[in-house]
Amino acid sequence: MESYPNASGSDHGERARLGAGMRPEILASWERSQSLGIDRERAALPVERDLDPDTRLVRAATPVLTRLYERFSGVPVTLTLADSHARIVDRWGDPVGLDLMDAASLVPGANVDERFMGTSSVSMVLSTRAPFVVVGHEHFLHALKELTCMAAPVRDPVGGTVRGAVNLSVPRELADPGMALVLQDATERIGERLLELSTARELELTHSFRRAMQRGGHAELDLESGELSRRGGPPPRLASQERLALLERAVGLISSNGETFAEVPLAGNRVAVLRRRELHHGDAEGAAVEVSFEDSGGTGTARPAAASGPGGGVPFPDRPAETAQPHAGGTDAWLLLVGEPGVGRFAAEARGRLALLNEAGVRLGTTLDLWRTAEQLAEITVPRFADLVVVDLAESVLAGEEPPPGPLRPGVPLRRVAAWAGEGSRGLPADGVNAPAGYPAGTPQARCLETGQPVTDSVMTAALAGHPAGRAHPVGFLGEGAHSYLGAPLTARGSVLGLAGFYRRGRTRPYEQDDLTLAGELAARAAISMDNARHYRREHHASLTLQRSLLPHALPRLSTVGLASRYLPADARSGVGGDWFDAIPLSGMRVALVVGDVPGNGLQAAATMGRLRTAVRTLAGLDLLPEEVLAHLDDLVSRTPEEDADDQDPATGTTCLYAIYDPVSCRCTAATAGHPPPALLTPDGEARLIGLPTGPPLGLGGLQPYESATVGLPAGSLLTMYTDGLLKEGRGYEDTEARTDQLLASLRLAGPDLEDTCDRVTDALPPSGPSDDVALLLARVHALPEDRMACWEFPSDPAAVARARALTRAQLAAWGMPELDFNTGLVVSELVTNAVRYGGPGPVGLRLLRDDSLICEVSDGSNTSPRIRRAATTEEGGRGLFLVAQFTKSWGARYMPQGKTVWAEQIPQPEQPASETDEEALLALFDDPG
């Protein structure tokens, strides 16, 4: 929307212009702002001068936003931090930008709520509780209309409360969608830092610990930036998951009564050693956890001698905690967390659950593979939520069947699709993946399936062994004894698909009520993705089956044309398309070659392809010219029933290439409807594209008529027809010319075997597979030898009939086909007689073609259509074509620009002697009934 309401004019006119193209949220905000009477030229913003400059929000946001502003160095952006009451508490920008903000009264303490400023990004965020972008003309104040403002909420990770908002303003011509994503990442980091900042008592402990560390020369955590640092060297690099694992383990150390050391394995063979130190400051008592790093091979910080203690193998020092000495002065140690026992545990656990759900939302459903989705659920939850995850699905679900509504009945067959206990369990034979699974009645797993609700209990390793008989359960990886178990049903759209089992080693960390809720949410998300994968797999299989059933099952075997083909479906994202090919034998030993491409994919495209292929075969049977076939197809696609006048035929936009090869003349006539031209490889090794008049795709043929072109094909030439998927490299912009050159280069290397040539051409596709369906049809053309055809021309005179019959008899004797003498003589007599009587004054042509069959063709200059009719008993004529149909395999007529050709085909059977003609039976065919 380029225009926006002016400062003056009637409100009614402004609202009329405003409603066109304005987002509903912005429109409602404008109307509220107008009703408040806000001055659009210069709004009067209230300013609060005594804001606390050291709030938790400011301390959490300052280092993050400082780095964010530095990231946009060179771009005239301004950053504004507002609290939950829409008051500006801090801002960042170049001097010019800050001066402009001062001129607009956007100073620290100013309230930018909609009540005072009208529509703005911050006010929209605080009202919608979600990220929001206000573009130029959408601002209520005229002074902001040259800016694009992006704002995102700052949420407290515990409870999700919006604590404030961050706004990024940039000239609208410089705005980029990526800026909004970077801004949201920054606000999420601010939310994490809000949780990391401690209470006032914990701050006192932190300051006390920092003073002690300064005296000892240790490195420390920079409370302003939240990053580990040390004097004189770079900080270690930690992945987000590693940082989370360290913080969670530090919370456990602070809250424990006896633990003083812990180890956390990290990537790259590193180990983080956590050390708990008692702290006292006034009436506050707590602990600090510092961390140091070493290689697992033994280099780096020396660890205290450790012994296994309670808590799952966490190392403990040999000596009491009070005698433990700090590490040597040269050791690098970083402060990780300070707090009181029990304080912050629930917040950290809540943050962990939120992080787990967030990761599940990002990773689950990224693939339409049902097995991979189950594996992703297991990988996400180990080790943060469980030590072992087992996913079982109903066999009917894996087969693509529709699951029954409600819980699964007892005894339903299950199959294990995932079992994961971390990297240490990879490849273990006990995982039982892709093996039948079952659980006896009364077990927690059976209760979960029967009730359709999450359950928690303890399970014994021995109780799960041998179900089904002879198969070990993956719980054996956790060792013998009792383990904590949580079962969550995989429920999607009211049906239970299976269950996910979460196991924790031993019973020291039993699952609690909050864990049930979390597991239920994780399982529900995974189940929806699995059900989507099941639906997709079923539809994809049905589409592929339908399309392959509509494609030729086998190409015809012809003596004059060698054929080979390939069909390559697109990748899983594209689905099945509507590409097709066909080879249709025609009269006179000719063959029609067809390649087409229906737009779209899936069942609709496959069904449309089948409809068009059937229409093409029907039209080909009429022996129409290529341009006429395309014209009829275009008319078929363009016609829409009146009741569906507003709908467009799904075949609209289909491209098609139709070609006819005549082995007698060695010429090919082709026409195209928006399709790529065919490629030709001549016997001398020259590869080129055949230039054809370009016609519009089907359904758009009213723009111009279709035209055909005829080219000579030397015997032994290779004609290549294909769909545009062969020329596509990806989903963006393709270099079609380069791909065409690659196709021609592949053809130049073609050998005599057409199947090898098909493989050579398709091997040039990208390794990841085609981005669109590919149909490929190769035709090696041959000429009909001169000794297998005979042609004559006669004047339009009844005397020509006897002459034609005599020449035919002589030619059959020369070919060694005397068994066809009688039938062929009858056919020639009838067809030549009709041509003389009804074909006009022009000459009559007779041609005999010998292949596996004998074809007799008679041509004349008339376009009159021959047809069979039933002659009356007293009529002398009218039975000729009936006799032709009785004594031949097939017959028909094709039309030329001038005249027509009537043909008849016979199959020689030399192994059987010619039977005596039963004249009485023949005459009985013409008797009237009754």
Query: For the ranges 245-249, 420-424, 522-526, 910-914, which has the lowest average pLDDT?
Result: 910-914
Instruction: State yes or no: pLDDT of 658 exceeds 70.
Output: yes
Strands 667-673 and 694-695: parallel
Strands 306-308 and 284-295: unpaired
Share of the chain above pLDDT 70, in %: 77
The whole-angstrom separation of Cα 678 and Cα 685 is 16
Put residue 280 in one of left, alpha, beta given phi > 0 → left and psi -120 to 50 → alpha. Answer: beta
In this prediction, residue 306 carries a pLDDT of 33
Q: ω before 383 within 30° of 0 (cis)?
A: yes
SS3 label, residue 620: helix
In this prediction, residue 4 carries a pLDDT of 31
Average pLDDT over residues 223-241: 53
The predicted-structure confidence for 369-404, as pLDDT tens digits, reads as follows: 888 999 999 988 888 888 899 999 998 888 888 888
In this prediction, residue 689 carries a pLDDT of 93
Q: Residue written as tokens 């800026």?
A: 179
The predicted-structure confidence for 508-552, as pLDDT tens digits, reads as follows: 777 877 788 899 999 999 999 999 888 888 877 777 777 777 777
Q: Which has the higher per-residue pLDDT, 444 or 504?
A: 504
The whole-angstrom separation of Cα 317 and Cα 291 is 15
The predicted-structure confidence for 488-500, as pLDDT tens digits, reads as follows: 999 998 889 999 9
In this prediction, residue 593 carries a pLDDT of 96
In this prediction, residue 101 carries a pLDDT of 84
**Global confidence as pTM:** 0.52
Band (11; pLDDT cuts 50, 70, 90): very low
Q: Which has the higher per-residue pLDDT, 385 or 469?
A: 385
Average pLDDT over residues 2-15: 38
Token pair listed for 629: 């076939």
The whole-angstrom separation of Cα 251 and Cα 110 is 39
Band (697; pLDDT cuts 50, 70, 90): very high
In this prediction, residue 543 carries a pLDDT of 73
Average pLDDT over residues 308-326: 30
In this prediction, residue 225 carries a pLDDT of 42
Q: Which parts of 816-904 fold into alpha helices (H)?
A: 821-838, 880-887
In this prediction, residue 675 carries a pLDDT of 93
Residue 30's contacts (CB-CB under 8 Å, 6 or more residues apart) are 5, 18, 22, 118, 119, 140
Average pLDDT over residues 436-463: 81
Q: Residue written as tokens 């079952």?
A: 438
In this prediction, residue 325 carries a pLDDT of 35
The whole-angstrom separation of Cα 612 and Cα 592 is 15
Which 8-state DSSP code applies to residue 478?
A: G
Instruction: State yes or no: pLDDT of 222 exceeds 50.
Output: no
In this prediction, residue 320 carries a pLDDT of 31
SS3 label, residue 76: coil
In what helix (H) or strand (E) does residue 858 lie, and over which residues does it extend?
A: strand 854-860
The predicted-structure confidence for 60-88, as pLDDT tens digits, reads as follows: 899 999 999 998 888 889 999 999 888 99
Q: Which has the higher per-residue pLDDT, 495 or 218?
A: 495
In this prediction, residue 581 carries a pLDDT of 93
Instruction: State yes or no: pLDDT of 860 exceeds 60.
Output: yes
Q: Which has the higher per-residue pLDDT, 590 or 461?
A: 590
Average pLDDT over residues 611-627: 91
* Residue 670, strand partner residues: 659, 709
Q: Which has the higher per-residue pLDDT, 376 or 602?
A: 376
The whole-angstrom separation of Cα 898 and Cα 839 is 11
Instruction: State yes or no: pLDDT of 231 exceeds 50.
Output: no
Residue 815's contacts (CB-CB under 8 Å, 6 or more residues apart) are 850
Instruction: State yes or no: pLDDT of 470 exceeds 50.
Output: yes
Instruction: State yes or no: pLDDT of 349 exceeds 80.
Output: no
Average pLDDT over residues 866-871: 60
Q: What is the CA radius of gyration of the chain?
A: 41
Alpha carbon of residue 468 to chain centroid: 37
Token pair listed for 576: 């099945």
Average pLDDT over residues 243-251: 77
Which 8-state DSSP code applies to residue 589?
A: G
Token pair listed for 844: 């009559």
Dihedral of the CA atoms 602, 606, 609, 614 (nearest 10)? -160
Q: ω before 468 within 30° of 0 (cis)?
A: yes
In this prediction, residue 6 carries a pLDDT of 36
Query: For the ranges 695-699, 882-886, 914-918, which has the lowest average pLDDT?
Result: 914-918
One-letter amino acid at 734 equals: E
Residue 838's contacts (CB-CB under 8 Å, 6 or more residues apart) are 860, 862, 864
Strand order in the sheet with 854-860: 789-794, 844-850, 854-860, 900-906, 890-895
Three-class HEC string of 100-144: HHHHCCCCCCEECCHHHHCCCHHHHHHHHCCCEEEEHHHCCCHHH
SS3 label, residue 336: strand
In this prediction, residue 431 carries a pLDDT of 57
The predicted-structure confidence for 566-594, as pLDDT tens digits, reads as follows: 988 775 455 567 889 999 999 989 999 99
Q: Which has the higher per-residue pLDDT, 859 or 342?
A: 859
Burial class (CB in 10 A: 0-12, 13-18, 19+), 627: buried
Q: Residue written as tokens 């398709």?
A: 762
The whole-angstrom separation of Cα 512 and Cα 925 is 91
Average pLDDT over residues 481-486: 84
In this prediction, residue 113 carries a pLDDT of 86
In this prediction, residue 642 carries a pLDDT of 53
Band (501; pLDDT cuts 50, 70, 90): very high
In this prediction, residue 869 carries a pLDDT of 56
Band (322; pLDDT cuts 50, 70, 90): very low
Q: Taking Cα atoms as reference points, which of 418, 403, 423 lies closest to residue 371?
A: 418
Share of the chain above pLDDT 90, in %: 25
Which regions of 718-831 does DSSP assign to beta strands (E)? 718-722, 774-781, 789-794
The predicted-structure confidence for 792-850, as pLDDT tens digits, reads as follows: 999 988 889 999 999 999 999 999 888 888 888 889 988 998 888 888 888 999 999 99
Instruction: State yes or no: pLDDT of 232 exceeds 50.
Output: no
The predicted-structure confidence for 279-307, as pLDDT tens digits, reads as follows: 765 555 677 788 888 876 554 443 433 33
Strands 482-492 and 455-460: antiparallel
In this prediction, residue 155 carries a pLDDT of 81
Mean pLDDT of the chain: 78
Token pair listed for 913: 């002697």
CB atoms within 10 A of CB 232: 6
Instruction: State yes or no: pLDDT of 165 exceeds 90.
Output: yes
The whole-angstrom separation of Cα 576 and Cα 580 is 12
In this prediction, residue 361 carries a pLDDT of 82
